[in-house]
Amino acid sequence: QVQLVESGGGLVQPGGSLRLSCEASGIDFSRYNVAWYRQAPGKERDLVATHISGGKAYYDASVTGRFTISRDNAKKMVYLQMNSLKPEDTAVYYCNVVWSSLDFWGQGTQVTVSS
């Protein structure tokens, strides 16, 4: 059974930081490309960052220079370090893993940036 479990969300003030974690189980994790998406109320789910198996990372322009995606294949973990958070970063953040036709999602973790 495949599971992705996110954690690390919460309430933070503008300018603050959070680190999201996603723990995978039930898959050969190192094969998969991993990504973080987010969905704000009333909006579509958008790609935030992706880390390709083999090492390259790509970011949406809105988070470049502030967010960093990383992975630990031995622990089957994906991380999203978020710095200099802004109110517009408020959303539910989802972990996603993809390999060939296989595509799995976590349940999401809420991030709220507010003073």
Tens of pLDDT, residues 14-36:
999 999 999 999 999 999 999 99
Instruction: Quote the Cα angle for 51-28-52, to 5°.
Output: 15
Mean pLDDT of 44-53: 94
Query: What are φ and ψ of residue 45, in 5° steps?
Result: -80, 125
**CA–CA separation, 6 and 85 (whole Å):** 19
Tens of pLDDT, residues 7-17:
999 999 999 99
Question: Which pLDDT value is given to residue 78?
Answer: 96
**CA–CA separation, 18 and 89 (whole Å):** 11
**CA–CA separation, 11 and 4 (whole Å):** 22
Instruction: Yes or no: say if 56 and 83 are a contact pair by the CB < 8 Å rule.
Output: no
Tens of pLDDT, residues 76-98:
999 999 999 999 999 999 999 99
